[in-house]
Amino acid sequence: MSSSTVYEATASAPVNIAVIKYWGKRDTKLILPINSSLSVTLDQDHLRSTTTSRADPSFEHDQLWLNGKEDEIKAGGRLATCISEMKRLRKELVEDKDPNAPKLSSYKVHIASYNNFPTAAGLASSASGFAALVASLAHLYQLTVSPSVLSLIARQGSGSACRSLFGGFVAWQMGSDPAGTDSLAVEVAPREHWPDMHALICVVSDDKKGTSSTSGMQRTVETSALLQHRIKHVVPERMQLISKAILEKDFDTFARITMADSNQFHAVALDTEPPIFYMNDVSRAIIALIVEFNRLSIANGQGHKAAYTYDAGPNAVIYALEKDIKQIVQLIVSYFPQRPSEFKDVLGLFGTASSDINTLAKVPEGFNEAVAKRFEVGSVKGLIHTRVGDGPRKLSDSESLLAANGLPKTLA
């Protein structure tokens, strides 16, 4: 190859939202969890991290820019671990086998990453971010390994990142090897299996800084008397039951387990010393709406039609089938008026009528409106409608985030 060859790859990766929650590590360095977890991958047409990785003999250091701002790669830190593990795979799987392969593993890399959703949305970007990082390096290094193998490396960047290596419905098997070789992600079902699984993200305002999940989960491991019961006796059964529900497209069971596991995760957080709270009064009100919405649909013989779940923050993610999403948006807007134009109707739910979503507010017939009070504009500061999506995508060179000089295009 000529010296002008650019060794570079760009990939995007999706966000995932767990329905069986990961909370607690048995090994904090290798990021090995104390229980298996399961998530739905969301559509990266709407929410994604995009990452370009380039290897070049002229680069002096490994460097990474996130949203245009350089992020330090600390020696021994999570970013450094992921990059060095990917270089090791390049060397072992490609360079050691093919003497003609360029020695990319010995080159420094420049990496530019970009999230298309604002940090203010309160969505964890570490899962999609580390998945996109690993996916772009895998393409750069021309590795022909399964997403599960890549998930072992993404996991060491951020635990839940391992689940973003697959689309559809994904299990993170906790494994038992102290070295972590069996703590990886596997596909339970692809998006095509159940494409009408949709999600509505309710972005909730919060006036206080929450406990980081990294420190919070270890405090729970150290102090909660209930956590051990959860991981030994509750999660294993739920993993089986929800996998079966997904394979059978049994939304009612999927919803029941999803809500119960969200509740139990927040219960063990509360059972921590000092207690950890992620949900606030707005989160509680959304739960009350979904409980009442389901009470009605169960009374009508249709079972649960919506499932809330909350991660380590006040935002609600509501899973529902495509046919029911419109009614749920109308319900949420009835209690949580939106700033006009804030709702992005990316999936065309309301057609041209959606320019002011508030005019479409409506509660279902028979709904007990007293289950929550009406909140002020801004209490739910955004609604994002999306759906189950695919795994990491390789993007074309034209979508590179790095300029010719090796710096992010936004800086170039």
Residues that bind a second copy (CB under 8 A): 207-209, 225-226, 228-230, 233-234, 256, 259-260, 263-264, 266-268, 270-275, 277, 280-281, 284, 287-288, 291, 370-373
The residue (of 192 and 273) whose beta carbon lies closer to a second copy is: 273
Mode of pairing for the β-strands spanning 63-66 and 69-71:
antiparallel
| Residue with the two structure tokens 């703590």 | 183
Helix (H, G, I), strand (E, B) or coil at 46: coil
Smallest distance, a second copy to C-beta of residue 311, A = 15
Cα–Cα dist 212/154, whole Å: 19
The residue (of 291 and 347) whose beta carbon lies closer to a second copy is: 291
Smallest distance, a second copy to C-beta of residue 329, A = 21
The residue (of 274 and 301) whose beta carbon lies closer to a second copy is: 274
Answer for the pair 16, 167: CB distance below 8 angstroms, yes or no: no
Give, rounded to a whole angstrom, the gap between the first and last alpha carbons of the chain: 27
Cα–Cα dist 296/91, whole Å: 59
The DSSP secondary-structure symbol of 341 reads T
The residue (of 92 and 237) whose beta carbon lies closer to a second copy is: 237
Spatial neighbors of 72 by CB under 8 A, at least 6 apart, are none
Smallest distance, a second copy to C-beta of residue 25, A = 21
Smallest distance, a second copy to C-beta of residue 176, A = 23
The residue (of 248 and 281) whose beta carbon lies closer to a second copy is: 281
The residue (of 246 and 282) whose beta carbon lies closer to a second copy is: 282
**CA-based nearest residue to 126, from 208, 49, 185:** 49
Cα–Cα dist 170/102, whole Å: 34
The residue (of 89 and 257) whose beta carbon lies closer to a second copy is: 257
The residue (of 13 and 268) whose beta carbon lies closer to a second copy is: 268
Helix (H, G, I), strand (E, B) or coil at 184: strand
Answer for the pair 59, 104: CB distance below 8 angstroms, yes or no: no
| Residue with the two structure tokens 């999506």 | 389
Smallest distance, a second copy to C-beta of residue 315, A = 16
Smallest distance, a second copy to C-beta of residue 234, A = 5
Cα–Cα dist 266/23, whole Å: 10
Burial 49-68 (b: 16+ CB within 10 A, else e): bbbbbbbbeeeeebbbbbbe
Smallest distance, a second copy to C-beta of residue 69, A = 25
The residue (of 28 and 228) whose beta carbon lies closer to a second copy is: 228
Burial 354-381 (b: 16+ CB within 10 A, else e): beebeebbebbeebeeebbeebeeebbb
Smallest distance, a second copy to C-beta of residue 217, A = 15
Spatial neighbors of 257 by CB under 8 A, at least 6 apart, are 19, 20, 238, 241, 242, 245
Smallest distance, a second copy to C-beta of residue 289, A = 11
Smallest distance, a second copy to C-beta of residue 64, A = 31
The residue (of 13 and 245) whose beta carbon lies closer to a second copy is: 245
| Token representation of residue 371 | 């289950």
